Amino acid sequence: MDLRSTVMKSGPAKAPHRSLLKANGLTDEEISRPLVAIVNSVNDVIPGHLMLDKIADAVRAGVRIAGGTPLEFATIGICDGIAMNHAGMRYSLASREVIADSVELTVQAHAFDAMVMIPNCDKIIPGMLMAAARLDIPTVVVSGGPMLAGRFQGRDVDLDTVFTAVGKFKAGEMTEDELCELETAACPTCGSCAGLFTANSMNCLTEAIGMGLPGNGTVPAVYSERIRLAKHAGMKVMELLEHGITARQIMTPDSIRNAMALDMAFGGSSNTVLHLTAIAHEAGADITLDDWQDVSSATPNLCRISPASEMHMEDLYAVGGVPTIMRELDKRGLVRRGAKTVSNRKMGDIVDAARDADGTVVRSIDDPYYPEGGLRVLRGNLAPDGCVVKQSAVPAEMRVHTGPARVFECEEDAVEAIFAGAIKPGDVVVIRFEGPRGGPGMREMLTPTSAISGMGLSTSVALITDGRFSGATKGPALGHVSPEAAAGGTIALVEEGDEITIDIDAGRVTLAVTEERLADRERNSKKPEPRVSKGYLSRYAHFVSSADKGAVLS
């Protein structure tokens, strides 16, 4: 087989290069074999990454079994939960581009022949997939797997339970001792947080897009099966290399469509709209919010995992995981069966070998939770270019809601008002200047949505933002409002008390203010000064696109 690494290691002129490789302890035999990059985001900060050193050991073993030489390097990673609700969250989405760039730089500089990527949390997964699309070499992704749910007062709990409990404590419905007991119990193992939040959503979509082996999204982090899966990933990347199958041969328009269909079927995090749009852009298979809505309209919601229910990722794993959901979708012709996967099987073959739906964790295609997908795109004069809501986590009584705007220029001010009891039933909380450019960095709003829920307002108060939401968010929370306030979007012109109507069934979000009055407000408005004027975020704000375009850098 032709190897990229030949240009770096072969012939007399490359003696200095081989000398450096030998300084790493490599033998002539190892240098002569295909060089496989092991791209690992292991660190001591993120619970989902603590065990990635073990995953990397298993991947290296698999590569060696199949005749390759593995060489590992690291990427950065940010824990969204720890970064939540303070200035640190501005760096989370922005880190996605740094991860993609760093992988591209390292792989290209060292002429690797293939790579196995080991992510496990929110921005790391899409960042690595974006890099895979750019580099277009044989690639397999194997994640660290989901955390097991915790137990508290006789029920399963997760990180979202703790965020919501803060509101309950503020409302006097939980003692400080109970809150402390819950925080200790909620995250009992390593792994990506146990609900269908952004990390687990993206790990599952990695399967559907064909870049991860079956089980990548659902095998629990603490199971030995996860180690075996990692060994197979190392072996499979060598098989892809032998057959000349590269990432962009797998990440095609058909595979992107499969991932979108899965996303709608299980009601994944609304962040997936940002990330899959960005991945598709890198793969040359561009998608728009209209494409998302087309898939949502055609795809029933078959599965509801926390925060949409009390079930967790281990429950989905137990009934067959992603292939089981895809099998149900295939019955309605919603799976592109010919799409390639890293398993060297087509998606149709994986679907045919999958288990039937159990009817509880994964419902039959003929008995869905809802006839449309878990996410919905809304448009209107408040969001001309669209916004996104996780409709599978919205109470039935809040699918249509009209109320007065309560306007905040940042997340912190909104949270303070919610906990102070200043938000009343019927209100529509508007948090603006939190978009990709205005934030900068498009912070997640899990704290305000959890505060609303914890204060007992989730069935009477809506939230709209040009920022984004954690996959743990539930309730009528509309994010990704485009254009954002910093780009002159209508959301910048909303005033306290303006009437806003959200109609999820009709796909509309409307500000009851005339065009003439909005034009007058725009003439008299003054843009706030940028929150960050130097460093990476300043550069990011200058180059980042809008949320409806995936918040990619131009």
Catalytic positions = 470
Report d(CA 183, CA 129) in Å as an integer.
Answer: 32
What gap in Å lies between CA 287 and CA 490, rounded to an integer? 24
As a three-state string, the secondary structure of 399-425 is CEEEEEEEEECCHHHHHHHHHCCCCCC
Backbone angles phi, psi at 290, to 5 degrees: -65, -40
- Contact between residue 38 and residue 73 where contact means Cβ atoms under 8 Å apart: yes
How far apart, in whole angstroms, are the C-alpha atoms of residue 390 and residue 411?
20
Half-sphere exposure of 75 (CA within 13 A, CB side): 35
Nearest to 93 by CA among 429, 469, 411: 469
Helix pair 271-282, 289-298: axis angle to 10 deg: 120
- Two tokens at 202? 């993206």
- Show the 3-state SS of 288-342: CHHHHHHHHHHCCECECCCCCCCCCHHHHHHCCHHHHHHHHHHCCCCCCCCCECC
Residue type, 10: S
Q: What is the largest CA-CA distance in the chain?
A: 76
Number of separate helices (H) and strands (E) present in the chain: 22, 14
Residue 150, CA atoms < 13 Å, CB-side half-sphere: 21
